[in-house]
Structure 1
Amino acid sequence: MTEKSAENSFELLCLPLDGAYYGFPLDMITETLQRVQITPFPCLPPHYCGVCNRKGSILPVVSLRRMTGGAQAADEGHPVTVIVKCGAYECGFLTETQPVLLTVSPDRLVREAAGELSGPLCVVDAVYATDSGVVLAVDAAATLERLVVNR
Structure 2
Amino acid sequence: MEQLDTLSGHSSVASAGGQYLTFALGEEEYGVEILKVQEIKGYPVITPIPNTPPHVKGVMNLRGTIIPVVDLRMRLGMAEAQSTRCTVIVVVKVGSKTVGLVMDSVSDVLDIPKADIQATPDFGAAVDTGFISGMAKAGDRVIVLLDIDTVLRGEVFGVLSGRGPDE
Bin of the TM-score, shorter chain as denominator length: 0.7 to 0.9
- The normalised TM-score by structure 2 is 0.72
Report the counterpart of residue 118 of structure 1 in structure 2: 129
Report the counterpart of residue 112 of structure 2 in structure 1: 104
Matched, 1:138 2:146: yes
Alignment map for 1:36-115 (pairs within 5 Å)? 36-73=44-81, 75-77=82-84, 79-112=87-120
Contact 2:43 2:89 in 1 (8 A): yes
Report the counterpart of residue 3 of structure 1 in structure 2: none
Which amino acid in structure 2 is aligned with residue 135 of structure 1?
I
Measure how far apart 1:124 and its partner are.
0.9
Report the counterpart of residue 34 of structure 1 in structure 2: 42
Contact 2:32 2:146 in 1 (8 A): yes
Contact 2:31 2:145 in 1 (8 A): yes
Which amino acid in structure 1 is aligned with residue 28 of structure 2?
A
Report the counterpart of residue 20 of structure 1 in structure 2: 28
Measure how far apart 1:113 and its partner are.
8.2
What residue ranges of structure 2 are gaps of 5+ in the alignment?
Answer: 1-15
What residue ranges of structure 1 are gaps of 5+ in the alignment?
Answer: 1-7
Contact 1:20 1:133 in 2 (8 A): no
Measure how far apart 1:81 and its partner are.
0.1
Identity %: 26
Contact 1:90 1:144 in 2 (8 A): no
Contact 2:20 2:112 in 1 (8 A): yes
CA distance in 2, matches of 1:85, 1:91: 6
Contact 1:64 1:93 in 2 (8 A): yes
Aligned length in residues = 140
More divergent stretch after superposition (128-137 vs 33-42): 128-137
CA distance in 2, matches of 1:34, 1:132: 30
Report the counterpart of residue 9 of structure 2 in structure 1: none
Choose between structure 1 and 2: higher helix proportion. 1
SS in 2 for 1:90: strand
CA distance in 2, matches of 1:35, 1:70: 19
